[in-house]
Structure 1
Amino acid sequence: MTDTAQKQQAGSATAPGASTPRGGGPPASRGKTTIADGVVEKIAGMAAREVPGVHAMGSGFARTFGAVRDRVPGGGRSVTRGVKAEVGEVQTALDLEIVVDYGVSIGDVTRGVREDVISAVERMTSLEVVEVNIVVSDVKLPDEQDDESDSRLQ
């Protein structure tokens, strides 16, 4: 028996005349997707801001600088203020800096922020969120003026 006949008898996976798939696998597995840090930061920033009790994101200086930038035409609000992400191939880690409203439970707010941020980032990016570190940098008192709404610029 020839080598070709032996291979056909042994159950060769390719039938005579059949073509093999091009590209080496299903279309969804061809190529690589890379998610930029800024994308994860935007998702996390939006999710964190939606948690009741979060008054603002970022340090006092960042909020003041952001308030000025927001008033400049084309400056726009920065949803990434107070958010830093490190993104790997399959995992991400986040650092957030928040200001909470006076009278709310900081533990409840930070728990809510972690849950919402992890849920949003994992759902939208398929990355595993390995940690969300939160720094509460300030408490917004009821009688304090807002840094973001008070500016000398018109």
Structure 2
Amino acid sequence: MKGLFSAKWLTFYGGTIAFVIALFSLVTNYGEANLKAQPKISGRYKLSATDLPGCLRGKDLILSIDQSGVYLNGSILETPHSTQEQTASKKKPSLTGKFRQPNLELSGTLPQIQGCENSQISIQSTIDKTILRGNLSLKDSASRFVAKLEEPSEIKK
């Protein structure tokens, strides 16, 4: 017991504790300076396009996006849509992708849109606050679109 409180051991313990504190401080400062979370983009976006491709032509559409860090899941729904369709699209989203600020990429199928069930879709866009601008590709045709985030009061239940 007397050996544990000698000057040699106290110096060792003090040095070890100081090293751990310095290392923790260094890692914390690095994380705060260089590791930033992606901004939240989850929500429902009303799609506007002058000429949607193929089976989407003439339909009012909502792009629903769920976010987990850089990973995205989503669905495209026709408006109006039922609560059952919305619940099904949340449980099993048909689009997957990534978000690398400011670029957003989603791809998948459109099982909720009548006439588009087996169609492959790809969305590449950029986001500026609450507005998405980009290209929507369906089969061999593409269309430019703009989508605006709906406010919670605008969402019809």
TM range (shorter): 0.3 to 0.5
Q: TM (normalized to structure 2)?
A: 0.33
Pick 1 or 2: higher relative contact order, CA cutoff 8 A, min separation 6.
Answer: 1
Q: Which has the higher strand share?
A: 2
Q: TM (normalized to structure 1)?
A: 0.33
